[in-house]
Amino acid sequence: MTTYLETPTDLIDLVGQQVGTTDWMKVTQEQVNLFADATGDHQWIHTDPQRAAKGPFKGTIAHGYLTLSLAPVVISEVLQIREVTAALNCGLNKVRFPAPVRVGSQIRAIVSVMSAQQKTSGVESVFGLTYEVDGEKRPACVADVIVLYP
């Protein structure tokens, strides 16, 4: 489901509401390896399937920060603002990684508008993101993401 808005100011009317849930996305070993290359985090739990098979998760898992880094993608999948010049990532208020994302599993995100206010620099919105893992009870990531629409 995608929510369509005319301008960023329309986010103010959506405070406290869920704007959508993304489609399921499969997490691949290739994604994890590319993320490891980009960040320099080559810990075996992420990049060595043979060693990780004997580890606590019985296989490789995605970096928590890989999951978090999908924030712009998941927000843009469920929210389209027709008259927007830019969407600037301004930071995070809170992030937790309650459960691992096993390579080969599918994740999706539920996106809510926690706050939105007009500032001199534009509309600042805080989105609540909850990343679910298919078949798991606990979410993989829960984050409050701040975006500025100048």
Can you name the residues that pair with 146 across neighbouring β-strands?
91, 126
- Domain extent for 61: 3-149
pLDDT interval class at 1 (50, 70, 90): confident
Q: Quick one: pLDDT at residue 72?
A: 97
CB-side neighbour CA atoms (13 Å) of 39: 17
3-class SS of residue 53: helix
Task: Report d(CA 57, CA 134) in Å as an integer.
Answer: 16
What CATH code is carried by the domain that includes residue 108? 3.10.129.10
Work out how many domains the chain is built from and give that number.
1
Tell me what percent of the residues of the chain surpass a pLDDT of 70.
100
**pLDDT higher than threshold 90 for residue 76:** yes
**pLDDT value at 81 more than 90:** yes
- For residue 22, give every residue at least 6 positions away whose Cβ sits within 8 Å of its Cβ, in sequence order, or none: 74, 77, 78, 108, 109, 111
**Residues 108, 113, 115, 116, CA torsion sign:** positive
pLDDT of residue 140: 98
